[in-house]
Chains A and B, each alone.
Chain A
Amino acid sequence: MNAFGDLINGFGTVLTPQNLLYAAIGVTVGTFVGILPGIGPALTIALLLPVALELDNPTGTLIMFAGIYYGAMYGGSTTSILLNTPGESASVATSIEGYQMAKRGRARAALATAAIGSFVAAIITTVLLTFVTEPMARLAVSFRASDYFALALLAMVTVTAVVGASIIRGLMSLTFGLFLGVVGIDALTGQARFTFGVTSMLDGIDVVVVIVGLFAIGETLFIASRLRDLPEQAAPLEPASGFAWLSRADWSRSWRPWLRGTALGFPFGALPSGGAELPTFLSYMYEKRRAKNKDEFGRGAIEGVAGPEAANNASFSGVLVPLLTLGIPTSATAAVMLAAFSYFNISPGPQLLQNQGPLVWALIASLFIGNVLLLALNLPLIRLWVKVLQIPRPLLYAGILVFATLGVYAVSGNIVDVLLAYGIGLIAMIMRHLDFPIAPAILGLILGPLMETQFRRALLLADGDLSIFVTRPLTLTLLLLAVAALALPHLPKLFRGRRPVLSGED
């Protein structure tokens, strides 16, 4: 029980009154920002990153960060349920039934099953994380540059193949992200690439700028282009009686989906091809298939909120496995976390546990504490959150633009970055109209430079011999998996002709 002892030490580091205060602040601020519609967890963390970094004390920052993270996650689910504005693809599955529940006046029950389900999933999977991280890190030490290259390729390809219906649109979005990743000074030789003579572009394009542009600004412009079709205000809330969040029937319908969602979320998240889209949708489909009252699905079935929401949170703990042990972010949120680590010169990867062991265990302990505080804060606040439904749309989205600008400006203080975010927002609006998935662009931006570095390092080590990518069994296996991931989901479609196939019947 070596890991367990390390974890206890982690708790020892974390459990001071001051750190608990940081955690409480993080959870509160994270929830309050995360609840802004269209601002997903990744963007919330990006917006609040500068705040956490102000502490100039790694442990305090990590703890506040964990709080912000869980607050942001939960805030994101809240708006997905109440307003049907998921801030990232992981919340889409939750919003399907959650929004239907909210429209039928069951917003409180939907928020409660999401909060408790997230809590259950996060606690179970953080325990798993404790025991999986160390063996994974040991395994990761044997990874070579060519393996990393293949792994990053696999991650990119699988996520692109999974989100969205069209592989071509997914690849286009990915390519756009890859291009943004090339901009700036080349890390190895110092040559400027695609900076078009703009000095501030030499540093490359900040992930925060891209996320703010793609999500918050893109979503608002998208809403603005379709104002005529939308009501001024979201559906009013039916007054619910009593003070209990979940009825006995709700409990008994929720707990199995929570556990099943957790079981799906963690392993899928831990795959180097991770991400939360696949497990959340799998959970949704599974709950729908095995539900006794199938016709309730599509009209607000609580199982359809409980399962995907648990899967979403569980997959994040899973995502931490490749992030901490391999340094590979497989979701937009993880990508922002990676950026946060780099501020402290912490480079996640095989050596992280050896070099920064106490910090990692403190992070894992922080995740536990963040969770407990989150539940304590949010169950009582459900009463307040449902009031969000009554804010008129113009006020909400004008506010989002203010926060988005503030976020970029606070991070960089540079007007070129702000204008860049607006420009990317315009592109994102067009992407939404033309049905391009957004997530692959972020992955391209993050994983592209990583792939390039590893590719060049691998070549350098092999004296420029390309065969390194096919002679090393692990590399070859990963590359073949990437090819399979790209081809497999689309093979049936190719044989069945060009007709789009939708598996949901709602």
Chain B
Amino acid sequence: MTQPAPPEAASATPETSDATEPSPLAGLVAGAVLVAAGLGLFTRALTVGADRGITLGGPTFAPIVVTGLWVLVAIAYLGTQAARWRRRTTQPNAARPTWRVPIMLLALLIAYAVVLKYTTVGYVLATVAFYVGAAQLLSTRPRREVIVRDAIVGVVLSLTIYLSFTKLLGIALPAGVLPL
């Protein structure tokens, strides 16, 4: 049976996910976290199973199987990563990811969701603020060059979404303080 090219072979450019080799340390850490999480969940599944009784066709069976499988696969993964760690070479890592931007984006997303749900700011204003902030985080150019452009696009986008969803599609979005 001839194998098709795995998706990895497809990534000639940096945009697709598989272009860079993850660092051996990251793999090792991920493996350890996966094993720990798996053990935690497995223990929980077993405890619940012990409380309610484990039968083959019962409701506690699947969680035990799934979390048990998780532990096994995670240990196998940790094994492969440990092997990579032992074979690691000291070549400089060409493209190291930066974690500052995605973490700040996540924080911004959470703030956006909270504002939408728990305040009366409303969809349009919250979305404009979020959009401009996210575009800033994702931009590599100086702020004053792009802020006006981002703000205009943000206003047009959020107004378009708000009006087309509430007026055309009948999906309610929080109106907030704006008289829309």
The interface of chain A, by Cβ under 8 A from chain B, is: 50-51, 54, 83-86, 89, 92-93, 95-96, 99-100, 162-166, 168-169, 171-172, 175-176, 178-179, 181-182, 186, 188-189, 191, 193-194, 217, 220-230, 232, 277-278, 281-282, 284-285, 298, 392-395, 397-399, 401-402, 405-406, 409-410, 415, 418-419, 422, 425-426, 429-430, 432-435, 437, 448, 452, 455-456, 459-460, 464, 466, 488-489, 498, 502-504, 506
Contact = CB atoms under 8 A, between A and B. Distances in A.
Contacts of A229: 14, 95
Given A164-B7, A171-B73, A175-B70, A221 B18 contact: no
B44 A194 contact: yes
Contacts of A402: 127, 130-131, 134, 157-158, 161
Given A83-B15, A96-B10, A405 B165 contact: no
Nearest to B69: A175
Main secondary structure of the interface of B (DSSP, over half): helix
Interface in B83-106: 83, 95, 97-99, 101-102, 105-106
Contact of B165 (A99, A165, A227, A410): A410
Nearest to B104: A224
Contacts of B26: 433-434
Given A225-B97, A418-B113, A395 B150 contact: yes
A241 to B, nearest CB: 27
B56 A464 contact: yes
Contacts of A395: 135, 149-150, 153
A398 B131 contact: yes
Contacts of A278: 4
B15 A415 contact: no
A92 B56 contact: no
Interface in B71-89: 73-74, 76-77, 80, 83
A464 B62 CA distance: 15
B7 A92 contact: yes
A51 B138 contact: no
B176 interface: no
A394 B5 contact: no
7 contacts: A50-B169, A51-B169, A163-B7, A225-B101, A398-B150, A401-B134, A434-B22
Contacts of A282: 4
B167 interface: no
Given A182-B62, A227-B98, A85 B136 contact: no
Contact of B139 (A181, A221, A232, A502): A232
B141 A224 contact: no
Given A92-B16, A504-B5, 17 more contacts: A54-B171, A89-B7, A95-B10, A164-B7, A171-B76, A182-B62, A193-B48, A227-B101, A395-B150, A401-B105, A402-B130, A405-B116, A415-B116, A426-B102, A433-B26, A459-B56, A506-B9
Contacts of B32: none
B97 A422 contact: no
Contacts of A175: 66, 69-70, 73
A418 B112 CA distance: 10
A401 B109 contact: yes
Contacts of B158: 402
B3 A489 contact: yes
Contacts of A100: 12
Main secondary structure of the interface of A (DSSP, over half): helix
Contacts of B76: 168, 171
Interface residues of B, number: 85
B179 interface: no
B66 to A, nearest CB: 5
B8 to A, nearest CB: 5
Contacts of B48: 193
A489 to B, nearest CB: 6
Interface in B1-34: 1-10, 12-18, 22, 26-27, 30, 34
6 closest pairs, A vs B, by CB? A504-B9, A281-B4, A398-B134, A504-B5, A394-B138, A186-B59
A285 B4 contact: yes
Nearest to A288: B5
Contacts of A406: 161, 165, 173
A376 to B, nearest CB: 22
Contacts of A284: 4-5
A35 to B, nearest CB: 15
Contact of B18 (A230, A422, A435): A435
B177 interface: no
Given A171-B73, A232-B139, A394-B136, A399 B66 contact: no
Most chain A CB neighbours (cut-off 10 Å) among B131, B138, B165: B138
B138 A503 contact: no
Contacts of B57: 455-456, 459-460, 464
Contacts of B113: 405, 409, 415, 418-419, 422
Contacts of A460: 57
A428 to B, nearest CB: 10
Contact of B16 (A84, A422, A425, A502): A84
Given A175-B69, A179-B41, A394 B135 contact: yes
Given A182-B66, A504-B9, A409 B106 contact: no
A278 B132 CA distance: 40
B137 interface: yes
A409 B176 CA distance: 16
A96 B9 CA distance: 9
A302 B153 CA distance: 35
B6 A191 contact: no
B1 A489 contact: yes
Interface in B136-180: 136-141, 146, 149-150, 153-154, 157-158, 161, 165, 169-171, 173
Most chain A CB neighbours (cut-off 10 Å) among B8, B17, B76, B154: B17
